Chains A and B, each alone.
Chain A
Amino acid sequence: MDRPIFRTESVTKVYDTGGAKVHALAGVDLELFGGELAVLLGPSGSGKSTLLNILGGLDHATTGHVWFRELELTALRDRGLTRYRRDHVGFVFQFYNLVASLTARENVQLVTDVARDPMPPAQALDLVGLSHRLDHFPAEMSGGEQQRVAIARAIAKRPEVLLCDEPTGALDSKTGVQVLEALKDINDRFGTTTVVITHNAAIRKMAHRVVRFHDGRITGVEINETRLAPHEITW
């Protein structure tokens, strides 16, 4: 946890919605380190999702610079960002974003088909405890199971970073804990840098570091001296 894997410098993001300009990010300087599990905490509209999208190469910063190791993401065009996402990043979304017409295994395969050195889909699903649900379609699974398929899909390509946008947002507390267990397990086992964004303050207790957001700015960074295991968290 020494070298920064992400580094941002005065990143801003302005959305132009016809008349009014919305400053989603108003100058963010942040470093995220290899192997850490960071929680970005803040209310809705605080800019954390926007930052995650920029870190994941899904969106462009308006001004400022972002580096992934030595690669300056802010200098890449769409094609370069696609390459970056394909090779380095795994995503987990609030609404799972599974393809309804593909089974669990096939949803994972969607990623392994285009990844450089993926693990077999079955292995990825095994890692999230779904080896018994390989051939089920999303509609046949619970929300927690669907989110774990999404995690399996994200980790199957052995990404260096795992970016999770409100991964428990659509789940009840008990199911949410299962999902967090899966994320922590991956982080522990593979040392995958994991960024979890949430507005749920309870989740911060499992992180190495907590970055607080408000109105497009970082309002504080705290280090958890004693982390809690997900099963010890409730909300």
Chain B
Amino acid sequence: MQALDKKLLRDFRRLWAQALAIALVLACGVAIFLTSFGMYRALQDTRAAYYERNRFADVFAETRRAPDTLTREIAAIPGVAGVEARVTGSVILDIPGRVETAVGQVISLPDAGLPPLNRPLLRAGRLPDPASTTQVAVNEPFAKAHGFGPGDSFAATINGQKRQLTITGTLLSPEFIYTIGPGQLMPDNEGYGILWMPERAVAAAFDMTGAFNSVSLKLTRGTSRDEVIDRLDDLLDPYGGLGAYGRDIQLSNSFIDAEIASLKSTAAVLPPVFFGISAFLVNMVLGRIIALERAQIGLMKAVGYTDREVAAHYLMLAGLVGLAGIGIGWAVGSWLSHALAVLYADFFDFPYLIYRVSYDVYVISAVIALSAAGLGAVRAALAATRLSPAVAMAPAAPPRFSRGLFDRMLAALRLPQPAMMVLRGILRWPVRSGLTVLGLALAVAVMMAATFTDDSMDEIIDGFFYQSNRQDALLLFSQDQPASVLEEVRRLPGVLAVEGHLYLAAELRNGHLSKQTPIEARRPDSDLSRAVDAAGRVVVPPPGGLILSERLAAELGLRPGDMVEAEFLGTKRETHMLPVSGLAVQYLGLGAYMDYDSANRMFRQAPQVSTASVLIDPAQEDALHARLKDLPGLAGTIMLTDSRRAFEETLAENVLIMMTVYAVIAVLITVGVAYNGARVQLSERARELASLRILGFSRAEVSAILIGETMLLAVLAQPVGWLVGWGLALAITAGFSSDLYAVPLVLRPACFAQASLVVLGASLGAVLLVRRRLDRLDLVAVMKTRE
């Protein structure tokens, strides 16, 4: 081994604490990049492969009842490569041993076996016999949640008729990677299942023989999806079409889209922060090393080492720090990816194991990390090459302190000398001080980005469950029922209060902007289900007017007072111009509300309801469920209390994990910046501080100078960090926002305080570590060394 290489390794070993502090920050960048970008790619690739192999459709549409003959016309739409028409319906399930009702979605299977589009994958057992009326295949997660296998059976109320069904096999489908039931906030595999039944049985049960109510299309490459959607809508309109839509609105796919987008934005936003901080730290530390090794650099050059060899030597030192960061980052990133994969396995149902980050992502992360370290080192290394050997071996000129405007202001303050030393030190290296402040501010921001979500989720839960949806359960009817059904519901055991709502499928338009969304008609005295405005006041839709959720209004470019065109879909094929009367705050879904009586009058019908909100006496809940399982006309139930509990539990768990991870990251950044800053300062000031000790200053007084500078910068970093954290939180909420949900920006004082406490605490801890070195300083030796 060459002597220079030995020097390199020994320097690295000597600098281990500083190198580790930098490597850990770099490792954060590598690990997060590996996890987010790796998972982004894995998720995207796996989904693409799954969709391709199992022929996931491009366009979907539901309709009331269309004749099978229409499929030929649909297939004739230019650009349509495949059509799959089927019958689907919602059913109430009675699972042995389960008190609550469960909801199932029945999907018809063609006689020939698997459908040509959205082909499910048989995971166990076999498909049901085409002639059978009691055999079903169910989605695998549902089977697993109940411990079901082929041969097991449960009861279902299909279109009012209760029958015993036998499971023949389990399936996974590209349509249900993220399986979420109507009105649910999260997948609940116990409470919601997909049932594939032979077409003849389904058609007979739902009175759909010779007809279909759901159609999926596969398009040829290059076909305009929107044109096909328009043509399909035209064809389905006479048959109660509910509006065709693309993959972007398909429920399961849109949740995966949201996850992929969030991974992508994480990969794009966070790692650069860490790489930037690492580059700064490398630059600061290496700059100091080169200042200390001036004479050695002069010597290397004097004995004939070229500029390139000298520069390479210092670049390699940065390279070793980079390698350490990469090694740690890879290890942590692999572990994190695995943890994320386990988490995904709970939510996403893919048939194959996809959760492996590909090797090139490892390589990319290493290249970026080394580049960051190299970028940080290059300025210092170039400074080393610029040193001429004769100059290098002469002592460096003392740093130039000038009497600028700031200095005169400082002098006017008549501060004690140690305070002057602290302030002059900060002003003498403004770039370094500024970057230190920025680095610590980023730590504050990262911490805030983690803590604010907790408050935001509280706001969502409060808004959704405690302000807007105060019912215990929502009963969904398979078809609109006369309002008198509410009397029947009221007589069910345990029901304390009932409210009916009418859902009207519609497309809202404002100029070229349009959005498909159901309009919910509710009574003005509706108390269980309400809309609330930004000020927390209940908003009631006035007769003839619409209340829109703020996000829906924004998407359509509407403000209160504007008129909106509402084209009603399904069986109510009418278009009305309605005024926007007010806005409601809503974080989940895009709601639109109108007055119940106006809605019924508009369609010249006796009062009807699609759903019923109920308040339940907990003591009689079991009795109620027992009755619901047999209630004809019921398509499903949503237990809001259960949803809330599950939502809160999952959030509590995820928020805790996230907070822990981010707090560790914030501490690593802080320690990386504060520790290295203090070490460099100690190195620069060793003689100064030793002189003060010799002059009679106490240890505490001398360390106050060292601690003072770093802590002053840390304090200055707080307001900057709050500002950056606010921006980061804003960016995160914007990144999360989709039609499915939005995250409100809630920044409480506690969030700022918590972030500041963590960062100030970690800064103090880091600087106290350096203080120990100051205490051990050999005064005589320091004064003797030539500088």
Contact = CB atoms under 8 A, between A and B. Distances in A.
> A and B: partners?
yes
Contacts of A78: 307
A91 B302 contact: yes
B6 interface: yes
Contacts of A56: 302
B388 A102 contact: no
Contacts of A79: 306
A64 to B, nearest CB: 17
B10 A101 contact: yes
Nearest to B295: A97
B390 A53 contact: yes
Interface in B363-394: 388-390, 393
Interface in B263-312: 295-296, 298-307, 309
A95 B786 contact: yes
A85 B296 contact: no
Given A102-B7, A109-B3, A110-B3, A82 B393 contact: no
Task: Kindly name the residue among B4, B11, B299, B304 whose own CB sees the greatest number of chain A CB atoms within 10 A.
Answer: B304
Contacts of B304: 82-83, 85-87, 111, 114-115
Contacts of A14: none
Interface residues of B, number: 26
A59 B390 contact: yes
A107 interface: yes
A3 B309 CA distance: 35
B772 interface: no
Given A53-B390, A58-B388, A95-B786, A102 B302 contact: no
Nearest to B293: A99
B2 interface: yes
A153 interface: yes
Interface in A25-41: none
Contacts, number: 79
Nearest to B6: A106
Interface in B303-341: 303-307, 309
Contacts of B414: none
Contact of A111 (B10, B298, B301, B303): B303
Given A53-B390, A110-B3, A97 B306 contact: no
Contact of B298 (A86, A90, A97, A114): A97
Given A110-B303, A114-B304, A97 B6 contact: no
B604 interface: no
A90 B303 CA distance: 7
A101 B11 contact: yes
A107 B307 contact: no
B512 interface: no
Contacts of A111: 303-304
B14 interface: yes
A110 B300 contact: yes
Contacts of B4: 110, 113
B301 to A, nearest CB: 7
Contact of B7 (A90, A97, A101, A157): A101
A213 interface: no
Interface in A49-78: 53, 56, 58-59, 78
A172 to B, nearest CB: 15
A113 B2 contact: yes
Contacts of A83: 304
Contacts of B7: 99, 101-102, 106, 110
A111 B309 CA distance: 13
Contacts of A6: none
B307 A101 contact: no
A72 to B, nearest CB: 19
A102 B296 CA distance: 12
B303 A86 contact: yes
Nearest to B8: A101
Contacts of A97: 295-296, 298-299, 393
B288 to A, nearest CB: 16
B301 A82 contact: yes
Interface in A168-183: none
A99 B299 contact: yes
Given A59-B390, A99-B296, A114 B6 contact: no
A87 B3 CA distance: 18
Nearest to B392: A58
A82 to B, nearest CB: 5
Interface string A87-107: 101110101010101100011
Interface in B577-622: none
A93 B303 contact: no
B3 A106 contact: yes
Nearest to A78: B307
Contacts of A58: 298, 301-302, 388-390, 393
Contacts of A82: 301, 304-307
Contacts of B298: 58, 97
A107 B3 contact: yes
Contacts of A86: 303-305
A99 to B, nearest CB: 5
Task: Kindly name the residue among B4, B300, B390 whose own CB sees the greatest number of chain A CB atoms within 10 A.
Answer: B390
Contact of B302 (A85, A87, A101, A109): A85
B303 A85 contact: yes
A59 B3 contact: no
A53 B786 CA distance: 20
Nearest to B296: A99
B303 A153 contact: yes
17 contacts: A53-B389, A53-B390, A58-B302, A82-B301, A85-B303, A87-B304, A91-B303, A93-B299, A97-B296, A97-B299, A101-B7, A101-B11, A110-B3, A113-B2, A113-B4, A114-B303, A114-B304
Given A58-B302, A82-B304, 17 more contacts: A53-B389, A58-B390, A58-B393, A59-B388, A59-B390, A79-B306, A82-B305, A82-B306, A83-B304, A86-B304, A91-B303, A101-B7, A101-B14, A102-B10, A110-B303, A114-B309, A153-B303
Interface of B: 2-4, 6-7, 10-11, 14, 295-296, 298-307, 309, 388-390, 393, 786
| 7 tightest A-B CB contacts, nearest first | A86-B304, A109-B3, A101-B10, A110-B3, A59-B390, A58-B390, A97-B299
